Structure 1
Amino acid sequence: MAIQEKTPVGEVRPSQLLWTYGPGALIDLPSLSVVTLGIDRWEKDRCQPIQEARLLSAVRKVLGQQVESLRMPPFQKGEPADVWSAEANIGVPVRPFPRWLRCVKCGLLAPYDGGLFTLKENRYRPERTRFVHAGCTGSKGADKAKDADAVPARFLLACRNGHLDDFPWHYFVHGGPSDCKGTLRFFESGASLQTENLWVKCDTCGVSRSMAHAFGKIGKENLPACRGRHPHLDQFEHDCDEEARAVLLGATNSWFPITVSALAIPQPNVSPLHQIVIDYWDDFADVEDISELKGTIKALKKRGEAQGIDKHEPEAVWAAIEAHRSGTSQAAVAESDIKGPEWAVLTEANPPTDYPHFLSKQVEVPGGLEKLIARVLLLERLREVNALLGFTRVEAPEESSDPDERAPMADLARSKPDWVPANQVHGEGIFIQFDEQALKTWEGRKGVERLDQRLRGGHRGWRNARHLNPDDGYPGIRYAMLHTLSHLLIRELALECGYNAASIRERIYADTDGDDSQAGILIYTAAADSDGTLGGLVDLGKPENLGRLLGQALDRAKICSSDPLCSEHDPCKDRSLHGAACHACSLVAETSCERGNRYLDRSLLVPTLDCADAAFFQGS
């Protein structure tokens, strides 16, 4: 990571550039705060492509057909031997933001490019790169001048349209536009750091104002209109009509990623070798003969890709390439439905057993659950690919195909991008398919219909409060039941085997609109570290283990430590998106849940204090 002049300032993990510190996000380093610039400023040639045709098709559906590829963020492989080499400058470009800094000794408040602060670079310890107030004499004007650290001002402006701006310090302290350009000071007046004890003062005219006046209803009167600034793109959108609000540096609502993910699955009626050719067609497309093919295979193996290709002779690979060329219309993937093809593969009568990124094994259903569960599939090998589409601020994006349901998405680049940041992780998982007839019988119960109306009422109230169509976006009671069970199992798996709970994720298959109704959950590990490949999750999917874990999870769900408040919660009354569910019983890490911990109700699984006639596992 470096600022525009190629000054190293710190480091983050490549996966964090999708989930936490992507384009437009602020990175709070030990002595600096910087914003990640748009992908049009990244070194594209250092971003390795990732092959996943279905995901690329889904990205194109949102961002346009000009998107050519998915690419990993640039990263260094180990520490460079020479900190002055070109390799040491591999990273993503950033810029100091906010522009305003505060001297820790005298409280001087000024922009870093105003000439009052100096950048102190440290190439051998990039995290120590910082700004200083040279010759500071302290707040009491001591005789001996000394350099003092300058830290970022902790307040910013943001709006729902994805804009981010410096806090208007002069405007705020003077109560509006003013000709006074005096020096500003930031100081504390009490023992705590509450906003009531934080003050800004102008040295020239002597006026001061508490930071408490920047928040709440009074903040609307003391802050200017949004200027439509995108600091990561160096541009302004002057027609923004959203209300600007003060936010704290490091606040979680300053950047929410909008991502889409897909599992790498084999295409129907395609052999493992042909699947490799399809997955890495960009590498094989320009190969003209077998001798050139051998060099391409060697390069792929050196990159650690195209696993399994060494099992086949070059002549067989060449034949697969020629067959693919002769039927290019069949290889073109136009499928933007992410979960549909995954469901088709997971529910095949004979699911694929040994593909480069997909290795499955069918096992028996745990005893006593044969009438409720139709299939258990252990995925001993799988790959998940994630792509970043954009981001929002202030309000989190909603997981829905309805664009009206989410806050406006901010762009990753000035113009339409021809690539987007992506990453791939390898892991393992457990797929559980439920009996369709058992689900239909359960959905017909009066208790289930009553809870369905309650959740639907909360959904309508939630959307009405946001001026959205109340009849759109409801996933259905089947989804809520499967989603809740997935959360309970994730929590139980984390307790049982010591997995980091945040490294376990879910995919819920509950679409009932098509010809083939879906009813299943996939719980899988997909973390960039070793958590995802230890084999522990697959072992827990065996009948003797899964039945025990499922029983334990359901037993824990019957009584919550927050009962009776938890079980009696009515989403209609507070316009929320969950019923009997809370942090004590059902909620998981935001990175693990595909719906932001919404549409949950444990009364759909087991009898609770408030509802005993809607449980899918009535006798468990």
Structure 2
Amino acid sequence: MKSVGEIRTSQLVSTFGPGSIMDLPELSVVIASHETWDQGRCKDITDPRLAKKLQVKRILTPPVPESYQTSGPTLPAYRFPLWFVCPECRKLGQENRFVRNLETGAYHCTCNDKKPRVFPSRFVVACPRGHLDDFPWFRFVHAGQGKEGCKGTDMYLEDNSNSGALSDLVVKCRHCNVSRSLEEAFRREGRGLLGDCKGNRPWLGQGNRVDCDQPLRAMLRGASNIYFPVASSALSIPPFSSRLHKAVAALEERLADVTSLEVLRQLMKMRSLLHELGDFAPDEVWEAIQFQRNYRLGPEQDLLYPEWQAILDGSDGSDETDFETEEMAVPGSFRSWVSRVIAVRRLLETRCLQGFTRIDQPPDPITLILKETEEDLSRISPIGKNYRPSWLPGIETRGEGIFIALEDEKVREWEARVGITSGKKMESAFRQYCEDRELTKHYVPHFPGVRYALLHSLAHVLMRQLCLESGYSHTSLRERIYARRGNNQDMAGLLIYTATPDSEGSLGGLVELAKTERIESILWNGLQEAFLCSADPLCAEHKPGMTGSLNGAACHACLLAPETSCENSNLFLDRSFLVPTVSNKDFAFFHI
């Protein structure tokens, strides 16, 4: 096995997870299933809340070398695509049409004495269920031209000009002299030329395929919509962030047969079996075991409300290693609208990759609940052979953040005023959005409400302003929205945080901005910037439902954030919910 490139571990649970295509200096590969990873080089992540929600026994980090001096690859990948093109003679073919250099592994064409190196095709095909395959060059050029019986392999991808347009690329079979512009493959009416999906899953190994009846779509190998990761995340909060609960979670398998406190006492006396629990009293350990065993399993488990409570309750500092908060005074000019400002000095986030989608962006769990029949599950491609694996890959990131809670009574008054007008428009646009994409077949739509849109818009305003004040880039900040009403679980708050995989976490620059005088300035300046947008009046006049959008007054110039920073794909945003705009002065929450 040869090492062909490098990748950051954090990328393996996001952009370049199993099933994604990665361009390397020498070749193009598809990252192999997590089931092929060397688990001996992976480390366990103990996050009972996230593991129980995803119904997996373990969450493991991607494999890493034991030291920087360790040679050899740690992460399996398969060569993909398997069709190549010569940059000089434009010959198309699989590896058997070219000569391989045994030392470098590269393929070369024999069209001249220089033997130019050939490169992987830029074009592949995929289907909405995540299957991936080489572009069907032979079928595409022969279909419908009366030459389907051609047995020749003399295929070329000719470039008729220097414009780079698809219409200039022509696939030609020199054996039977038929040709076709590649532009036809990307037209809706030309998709029939590609044939039916064969259900190929190259990230699971050569020849792995399943039955599929979905239409194929021609795509560029490096297109942004060829891989959308589906991931879940959770913060480590009390009591799970304590040393005791971390130890119990790590020993879950060994503690599975402990049925009573007396059995636990006997086992703890035999220190060779449970030496990790030697610093704790048996009564405390038994209580922690019962607490974790009784924790709710499956998608019904709520990750957000316990986090909301934990942040409001704060940390006592006694046994917490990954959760520390500090209450700050609410700025005087915002006391009518803001109830709490809390600096989260230390936080630990676990992010776990569940699967991925292609072509269409993954439905957000905030707004869509998967029905979870077998057909529904197939809408999200598994990173392994099973839709319900026993373990999943994940990473831990440490950092800091600023938590802001709004006055719930003020939010309720605002909801009553806005919900019957603009709120109804946004909800109606959301229903239409789901129907247009046929999401209702596999998901139960859930409109998050105007409370969510208010907090989401405020989070984006604050992230933009925090970037200017803290020096962090916009892509290094993330949001976590706590918005709910009813069932005695009312929430109206947000967390803006930054986190890195480094063991020391971030540098503390964000927490400094949570101090009363600094956060007051940030809130004031951010809301002032939201009054006007450089795209006004067009931006301010935009309403939910226009051009199929779920946003109101929001665009790239004022509210939209990088996809890595936003938890909901830049949906449900409207700055007129925050402050008066040039087109709408009636829905503002803040009056400053």
What is the TM-score when the length of structure 1 is the normalising length? 0.86
Partner of 2:11: 16
Q: Secondary structure at the match of 2:346?
A: strand
Q: Deviations over 1:264-285 (max 9, x none)?
A: 0012xx8944344345435985
Instruction: Report the Cα distance in structure 2 between the residues aligned to 1:38 and 1:614, rounded to whole angstroms.
Output: 49
Other-structure match for 1:387: 352
> 8 Å contact 2:578–2:590 — kept in the other structure?
yes
Match for residue 61 of structure 2?
72
How far does residue 491 in structure 1 lie from its aligned partner after superposition? 0.9
CA distance in structure 2 between the aligned counterparts of 1:327 and 1:254, rounded to whole angstroms: 44
Match of 1:459 in 2: 430
- Counterpart CA distance in 2 for 1:72 and 1:423 is 5
Distance 2:191 2:28 in 1: 26
1:557-596 to structure 2, matched below 5 A, reads 557-596=530-569
Q: Which residues in structure 2 correspond to 1:359-438 (within 5 Å)? A: 359-400=324-365, 401-403=368-370, 408-415=379-386, 416-438=388-410
Partner deviation per Cα, 1:559-606 (whole Å, 9 max, x = no partner): 000111111012223221111101000011111111000000000000
Q: Residue 148 of structure 1 corresponds to which residue in structure 2?
A: 116
Q: Does 1:214 align with 2:185?
A: yes
> Superposition pairs for residues 9-158 of structure 1, below 5 Å?
9-60=4-55, 67-76=56-65, 79-80=68-69, 87-112=70-95, 114=96, 116-122=98-104, 131-137=106-112, 145-158=113-126
The answer to whether the Cα contact below 8 Å between 1:120 and 1:132 also exists between their aligned partners in 2 is no
One-letter identity of the residue aligned with 1:105: E
Question: How many residue pairs are counted as aligned between the two chains?
Answer: 564
Partner of 1:281: 251
Bigger mean CA offset, 90-99 vs 232-241:
232-241
Matched, 1:169 2:134: no
- In the alignment, what sits opposite 2:150? 179
CA displacement, residues 20-40 of structure 1 (integer Å, 9 cap, x when unaligned)? 111110001123110011122
CA contact (8 A) 1:40 1:417 kept: no
Which residue is 1:310 aligned to? none
Match in the other structure for 1:603: 576
Is 1:247 equivalent to 2:198 in the alignment?
Answer: no
Q: Determine the C-alpha separation between the residues in 1 that align with 2:284 and 2:341.
A: 35
Alignment partners' CA distance in 1, 2:406 and 2:293: 33
Counterpart for residue 261 of structure 2: none
Q: Alpha-carbon deviation of 1:241?
A: 2.0
RMSD, aligned α-carbons: 2.5
In the alignment, the residues of structure 2 paired with residue 227 and residue 600 of structure 1 have an alpha-carbon distance, to the nearest angstrom, of 40
| Cα shift at 1:463 | 1.4
Choose from 484, 504, 508 the match for 1:535: 508
Judging changes above 3 Å, is the alpha-carbon distance between structure 1 residues 593 and 291 closer, same or farther for their aligned structure 2 residues? same
- What are the Cα deviations for residues 358-394 of structure 1, in whole angstroms up to 9, with x where unaligned? 0111110011111211111111000000111111100
Q: Check whether the contact 1:426–1:528 (CA below 8 A) recurs between aligned residues.
A: yes
- Pairwise CA distance, 1:399: 1.2
Counterpart Cα distance in 2 of 1:276 and 1:22: 27
5+ unaligned residues in a row in structure 2: which ranges? 257-266
Structure 1 alignment gaps of length 5 or more: 1-5, 61-66, 81-86, 123-129, 138-144, 298-313
Cα gap change, 1:259/1:231 in structure 2, threshold over 3 Å: closer, same or farther? same
SS at structure 2 position matched to 1:577 = coil
Q: Distance between the aligned counterparts of 2:347 and 2:408, measured in 1?
A: 26
Matched, 1:357 2:322: yes
2-side partners of 1:276 and 1:290: how far apart?
A: 21
Cα distance change on mapping 1:523 and 1:432 into 2, 3 Å? same
Encode CA deviations 1:439-474: one digit per residue, 9 max, x unaligned: 1111122x5532112211221221121234498221
Q: What SS does the corresponding residue of 2:496 show, helix, strand or coil?
A: strand
Query: Structure 2: how far apart are the matches of 1:118 and 1:161?
Result: 34
C-alpha distance in structure 1 between counterparts of 2:586 and 2:336, whole Å: 18
Contact preservation (8 Å) 1:461, 1:576: no
The separation in 2 between residues aligned to 1:196 and 1:271, in whole angstroms, is 58
Are 2:142 and 2:178, in contact at CA under 8 Å, matched by a contact in 1?
A: yes
The one-letter code matched in structure 1 to 2:232 is V
Instruction: Say whether the 8 Å CA contact 1:117–1:150 is kept in structure 2.
Output: no
CA contact (8 A) 1:277 1:320 kept: no
Structure 1: distance between partners of 2:529 and 2:270: 60
- CA distance in structure 2 between the partners assigned to 1:328 and 1:243 by the alignment: 50
Secondary structure of 1:40's match?
helix
Separation (CA, whole Å) in 2 of partners of 1:271 and 1:150: 53
Going from structure 1 to structure 2, the CA distance change for 1:332 and 1:31 (only over 3 Å counts) comes to same
Cα offset, 1:146, TM superposition: 2.4
Counterparts of 2:404 and 2:189, CA distance in 1: 52
Going from structure 1 to structure 2, the CA distance change for 1:558 and 1:372 (only over 3 Å counts) comes to: same
SS at match of 2:491: coil
TM-score (norm 2): 0.90
| Corresponding letter in the other structure for 2:590 | F
What are the Cα deviations for residues 420-440 of structure 1, in whole angstroms up to 9, with x where unaligned? 100000000111111111111
Tell me how far apart the structure 1 counterparts of residues 378 and 479 of structure 2 sit (CA, whole Å): 24
Q: Is 1:182–1:205's contact at 8 Å kept on the other side of the alignment? A: no
Instruction: Give me the whole-angstrom Cα distance separating, in 2, the residues matched to 1:157 and 1:598.
Output: 29
2:428 aligned partner, one-letter code: G
- Asked whether the equivalents of residues 352 and 358 of structure 1 are also in contact (C-alpha less than 8 Å), the reply is no
Q: 1:261 aligns with which of 229, 233, 246?
A: 233
- Tell me if 1:554 matches 2:527: yes
Instruction: Give the letter aligned to residue 611 of structure 1.
Output: N
Q: Deviations over 1:497-537 (max 9, x none)?
A: 21021111111001213212111001111223599511010
Cα pair 1:503 1:526 within 8 Å, conserved: yes
Give secondary structure in 2 for the equivalent of 1:362.
strand
Alignment of 1:441-456 (within 5 A): 441-445=413-417, 447=418, 449-456=420-427
Partners of 1:156 and 1:248 within 8 A in 2: yes
Compute the displacement of 1:121 (Å).
4.3
Compare 404-413 and 555-564 and name the one that shifted more: 404-413
Tell me: CA distance 1:16–1:380, structure 2 relative to 1, closer, same or farther (3 Å).
Answer: same
Alpha carbons 1:377, 1:430 under 8 Å: kept:
yes
C-alpha contact (below 8 Å) 1:503/1:532 kept by paired residues:
no
| Separation of aligned partners in 1, 2:331 and 2:484 | 25
Q: Is the 8 A contact 2:160 2:168 kept in 1?
A: yes
- Specify whether residues 42 and 277 from structure 1 end up closer, same or farther in structure 2 by C-alpha distance, changes over 3 A only: closer
| Alpha-carbon shift at residue 175 of structure 1 (Å) | 2.0
Identity among equivalent pairs (%): 37
